Amino acid sequence: MKLSIIIPVFNEEKTIAQVLDKVSNLKIPSVEKEVIVVDDCSTDNTVSKIGDLRPKKDFKFIKHPKNMGKGAAVCTGIEKATGDYIIIQDADLEYDVNDIPMLVSELKGNKDVIYGTRLARMPHLGDEERRLQFLLHYFGNRFLSLVTSVLYGQWITDMETCYKLFPRSVVKGIELRSKRFDFEPEITSKLLKRGFKIREIPIKTKPRGYEEGKKLNTIRDGTIALWTLIKYRFTD
């Protein structure tokens, strides 16, 4: 099996080298690996950091001429992917790349869709979610996942997870329009509407704060995600 790992990047000069190093060194038994980095017109030293690694690491690199959003970067990666399966890897250090082999090992057939869930648990009130911004993010995501479950008839705990593992053949026939963080609810809604069952496997993450570069805005992006879930339930 061949796995395409898509890494959308925007202004991640502090972490991109570490992420690329971890992904490049990742070993997945019986799996050929393809790494695709899509820079969404970064304005810091991200591209320079990536350039420094290109002679040493094996990955494809695509650069957007203008900033278009995370969803657009993922879609560019999907267009260039040649793997049997695709997974998305954020360019920060929130997600542990060592979870990828575990998610791949859960594949049972060529129509499997697997999500790595961070939220099959109660909030960590003694850890990161003691901070209001993380607690809002936790409950906002749980609310959106509940709305997804009600609208589409399948229980989902973490619709917004980055770790979405799906066959490339599945998305070839799906038109994805979202350009920014609304990519997550759009692809989830369209997979569920087409009858795919999403299996969730628990993963752990190390959330970063906005002072460390986190870009998701819980209120703004959550409202857009809610509208996206409702819109695609009755259209497209």
DSSP, res 83: S
Tell me the mean pLDDT in the region 125-151: 82
pLDDT surpassing 90 at residue 35: yes
> Is this structure's pTM higher than 0.85?
yes
Per-residue model confidence as pLDDT tens digits over 172-181: 888 999 888 8
Name the CA dihedral angle for 105, 109, 80, 58, rounded to a multiple of 10 degrees.
Answer: 30
Q: Strand runs (DSSP E) across 50-139, as ranges?
A: 60-63, 85-88, 113-117
| Closest C-alpha among 156, 135, 149, 133 to residue 211 | 133
Give the Cα separation of 17 and 2 in Å (integer).
23
The token duo for 66 is 């203008």
pLDDT for residue 10: 96
Map residue 123 onto helix, strand or coil.
Answer: coil
How close are the terminal C-alpha atoms of the chain, in Å? 31
CATH number at residue 104: 3.90.550.10
| Closest C-alpha among 9, 2, 139, 151 to residue 67 | 9
Give the Cα separation of 73 and 62 in Å (integer).
9
**Total number of domains constituting the chain:** 1
* Domain range for 20: 2-234
